[in-house]
Amino acid sequence: MPRYFFDIKDGHSLVDTAGRECKNDTAAKDIAEALAIVVSIDTPAVDPWRVISVRNEARQEIYQAAVYSKPVAADGV
């Protein structure tokens, strides 16, 4: 199976050096979307630019999954 790499980008990069085997590009994109949800738990509301970047074995970026910030309640809680 091909290996894919899932980097976190937000002005800086947290590079995935190990990667993960996935069946194909579609499976790698699905994993990126799931990772984006998990990362969003720790994303401040003021960081709208964070993404999970998926790179293939050739290290070419094939997809970006947006990491959405948690909404802030009107009363600040």
Return all residues near 8 (Cβ < 8 A) that are at least 6 apart: 14, 39, 50, 51, 52, 53, 67
Q: Which of 70, 68, 66, 59 is nearest to 29 (CA)?
A: 66
Return all residues near 14 (Cβ < 8 A) that are at least 6 apart: 7, 8
Q: Are 20 and 4 in contact (CB under 8 A)?
A: yes
Confirm whether 71 is domain-assigned: no
Confirm whether 17 is domain-assigned: yes
Residue 25's domain comprises 3-66
Confirm whether 73 is domain-assigned: no
Per-residue pLDDT of the chain (77 residues; tens, 9 = 90+): 999 999 999 877 899 999 999 999 999 999 999 999 888 877 666 566 789 999 999 999 999 998 886 655 555 54
Instruction: Tell me how many domains the chain contains.
Output: 1
